[in-house]
Amino acid sequence: MDLTGISTWLNARPAGHSLPQGLYTTAEAFDFDLAAIFGTSWLLAGFEAEVRAAGDYLSFMVGRWPVLVVRGRDGTLRAFHNSCRHRGSILCAPGTGTGARLTCPYHRWTYGLDGRLLAAGRMPDDFDKGAHALKPVHLESVAGAIFVCLAETPPDITVLRRDLTPLLAPHRLHRAKVAFKSTLVEYANWKLVMENGRECYHCATGHPELSRTFPVTASEYFDLEADAARAFDQRMLTLGLPGGPAGEDWWQAVRFALNPGTVAMTTSGDFSVKKLMVEAGGGDIGSLRWAIEPNNFCHSTSEYTFCFNAMPVSATETHVVATWLVHEDAVEGVDYDPEELIHLWTQTNLQDKAFAENNQLGINSPGYTPGPYSPEAESLTLRFVDWYCARAADYVARAAA
C-alpha cells in the first residue's frame, strides 16, 4: 500500500478541523482505514447474550474481512477468521446460529467448536489435519460485552477491563437477551457516520424524539448544570451505581442524568420494559454511555442496553448495526412491545442516516475544505478525529520504518 497520499492528507489537516476530502471519499483511504484502524483496534463484536450456549455463533464482517465468534463445548468463547483452511470459503453466513460443529458449505471440511479440523474428505493419507485448524482472532469479554482484535499483537485492554467492568456490572449484561437487531445502510464514509454520532450539535433540531429525554445542550463531555449534576452523582453513589467518567484515548464511559421529568430514554420518557435490568432507584438512574473507538457507542439504562456499531463497507457505504438488549426474563408482548422499545433509536438512526448522507454529498464537492469543530458542542467529534489522525500517523510512521 502506497501511503504517500495518506501522509499528505494527514499533514494537510488544520488542527481542530475536519479531515481533507480524500480521507472521506477515496478507495485508497478506505483500504488504509481497514489496515491501520480496524485491523489494529479492539472492536465491539457483540454480547455474550448472542452466544449463550455451546455451539452458538456470531458471524459478521469487518470491512471485507469475515469474523466468527463461537461458544465452545467447554463454555469458552473463541474468535476465528471465518475462512475455511481448504480454499477459503466462509463457514457461517453473517448473522447468528448454532451447531454442533462448523462445516464449510463448499467441500464439507468440518471443524470443532475449538477450531480444530476434524474431517476433510478425499485428502491423501499423509494429510495433516492438525496443521489446518481455523486461524484464531484475539477475543476478550468484559462484563458481558465481546471484543475482538485482528492484529497480531492487540493493544492493551487492561485499563478498559478494570474501569469499565464496575460501571457495566449493575446492568447485568450476562442476564440479558437480544430483543431486536437491525442493520441500516448509510451511503456515507464510516468516519462521517461516527463524527455525527459523537456530537449533539445537531440534536436540538435534528432529533425531536431524542431531545425529549437526552440532554442535547450539554457542553463538552456531558457537563450538565453543576448543582443538578452533583445531586445526580450523589444519588447514584447512594444507590451504589458508579458513574465515572472513565476512559482512555480510545474509549470513554460516564453515567449522566436524563432530562427533568423523564425516567427512561424512550420516546415518551417513561419505561417501555416492565422487567428492569437495574431496579435500584426505581429504575430512575439516567444512562451509562460507553463508547469505543473507532466505531461504536452504547447506552445502558435501567431497562435496556442499546448498541450502535458503524461497520465500514466501502469508501462511501457504512452499515449501522443496532442492537437492543433487555432482561432475559422479559417476555415480548407482555413485558415490552418491540415497536415501542426500538422507536426512539430507530428514528434517531434514520435521521442520522440523512445527516451523514447529506454530509457525504457536500464533501464530494470540489468546493469542500476542512471546517472547524465547535470546541464545546463537538468536543467528542474532535476527540474522535484527533484519535483517528494520531493512530493513522503512527501506522504510517511504523510502515515507513
Question: What are the residue boundaries of the structural domains of the chain, listed by start?
Answer: 42-154, 163-363
Band (pLDDT 50/70/90 cuts) for residue 110 is very high
Residue holding cell 471465518? 82
Asked if residue 218 has pLDDT above 80, the reply is no
pLDDT at 221: 64
pLDDT at 310 exceeding the cut of 90? yes
Confidence (pLDDT) at 217: 81
What's domain 163-363's superfamily in CATH? Naphthalene 1,2-dioxygenase Alpha Subunit; Chain A, domain 1 (3.90.380.10)
Predicted pLDDT at 220: 63
pLDDT digits (tens, 9 = 90+) for 91-101: 999 999 999 99
Task: Tell me the C-alpha to C-alpha distance, in Å, between residue 319 and each of 63, 194, 229.
Answer: 10, 12, 35
Instruction: Name 298's bridge partners.
Output: 290, 307
Could you give phi then psi for residue 184, rounded to 5 degrees?
-115, 125
Share of the chain above pLDDT 90, in %: 95
Q: What is the mean pLDDT of the chain?
A: 96
Can you give the length of the chain in residues?
Answer: 401
Sheet harboring 117-119: ordered strands across? Answer: 102-103, 110-111, 117-119
Beta strand segments in 104-219, E:
110-111, 117-119, 136-142, 145-149, 176-186
Query: For residue 226, what pLDDT is reported?
Result: 76
pLDDT at 211 over 90: yes
pLDDT tens figures, 176-203: 999 999 999 999 999 999 999 999 999 9
Q: Are 239 and 280 in contact (CB under 8 A)?
A: yes
Average pLDDT over residues 54-68: 98
Reported pTM: 0.97
Highest mean pLDDT among 142-146, 227-231, 242-246: 142-146
What is 42-154's CATH number? 2.102.10.10
Predicted local distance difference test score (pLDDT) of residue 203: 94
Task: Say which residue the cell 501506522 belongs to.
Answer: 395
E strand or H helix at 319, and its extent? strand 317-327
Task: In whole angstroms, give the CA distance from residue 121 to residue 133.
Answer: 15
H or E element that contains 164: helix 158-168
pLDDT for 228 equals 81
Question: Percentage of the chain surpassing pLDDT 70?
Answer: 98
End-to-end CA gap in the chain = 14
